[in-house]
Structure formats: structure tokens, C-alpha cells
Structure 1
Amino acid sequence: MSNYAQVLTEDRRLVILRALAELPSYKSNSSILCTLLERWGHSPSRDQVKTDLRWLEEQGLLKVEEVESVLLATLSERGMDVAKGRAVQPGVKRPGA
């Protein structure tokens, strides 16, 4: 992966975590997250968003549930810590960095 692609991937993952952290239930679906990412300057495919959600789940930053053709993501406690900059996760951009 090129340096530029890596920066975009890490930022996209942070935006996902921060978006979930701002929602009252800390939960959203992949379709809504795709729309939110577009508002933050990303243009991901739905497949990219789903891949990021699965990767974030593997890291313990959120839980993913498959509902029909979308994924439902719920932020974990560790995911909240990474979103707020209280913990560091390689592969996710640090807030403010």
C-alpha cells in the first residue's frame, strides 16, 4: 500500500470511530457511515467501509453485526479511547495528528 493510501485508510478508520463516538447509541450501519465519510472528504466504496469495519472489529475497537446487506457497527470501550486519543492503535490515525 502506498504512503498516500495508508494515510487515507488510517484517517477513514478514525472518522468511523469518531462518528460512532458522537452518536447517542454509539451505533450505526455501514450505509450511514459511508455517507458520513463522504461529508468528511472521503469517497469510499461500500466495500471499503465494510472492510474497515471488519478490520476495526478484529482490533477490538467495535462490534459488527450483519443485518441483510449492511453491517451494524457498535463502538467498544477501547474504540472510544482510540477515537478520543486516549489510546493508540496502529492502523488508525491519532486525533489531531
Structure 2
Amino acid sequence: MSFENQLKEEMRLVMLRLLNELPSYRGNSSTLHSGLTHWGLSFSRDQVKTELYWLKDQGCVEIELDNPDVIVVKLKERGQDVVENRTKVHGIKRPSA
């Protein structure tokens, strides 16, 4: 696996973890971008939005609002199961024990 793919898998897990910690399990692409930067993962806002759509396609998040500036997402049960290490989704880094 390429280093770029490893970073994407890490990014996806961190975004799910961030959503898991937010009130009502909801957040937006801007907040998640800031959270990723805080954890030393440097991605563009466009990359964050692209990965949020990828997570939606995997059934991990629900997109509640989509406009050109910001996407509002909510963590779904499957996404929480990934964070809690109850399920594995190919393309998302598995949480460490």
C-alpha cells in the first residue's frame, strides 16, 4: 500500500473519531479540516469534502447539508462501529487497541 493511501485511511478514521466526540455526532467539513490539522494531518478542504463523500458511500456518515462552502455531516451507526473497533471497513485505518 502506498504512503498516500495510508494517509487517507488515517484521515478517514480521524474524521470519524472527531465526529464521535462532537455533540449530536454532527460536524461540518470546516471543523473537521481544523481537527485534522490539529492532529498533524495536512489535507486541503477539497480533499476533506471528497473523503466525506467516500465515507457516505461506505455508510459511515450521512450528509445533512451540502453547499459550495461547507458540508454538514452526521456520524451513522456504522461509522461509530468503526471508531469503537466493532467493524472493519476496507479503506479506513483500523483503530489501535
RMSD: 1.2
Size of the alignment, in residue pairs? 96
Contact 1:34 1:44 in 2 (8 A): yes
The farther-off stretch of 29-38 and 58-67 is 58-67
The normalised TM-score by structure 2 is 0.94
Secondary structure of the residue that 2:27 maps to in structure 1? strand
Deviation string for 1:54-74 (max 9, x for gaps)?
000000000012145200010
The equivalent of 1:3 in structure 2 is: 2
Q: What is the rounded CA distance, in whole Å, between the counterparts of 1:84 and 1:68 in structure 2?
A: 32
Q: Which runs of 5+ in 1 are unaligned?
A: none
Deviation beyond 3 Å, 4+ runs, structure 1: none
Identical counterparts, % of pairs:
48
Deviation string for 1:11-64 (max 9, x for gaps)?
000000000011121000000100000011101100000000000000000001
Q: What is the rounded CA distance, in whole Å, between the counterparts of 2:57 and 2:38 in structure 1?
A: 26
The equivalent of 1:76 in structure 2 is: 76
The normalised TM-score by structure 1 is 0.94
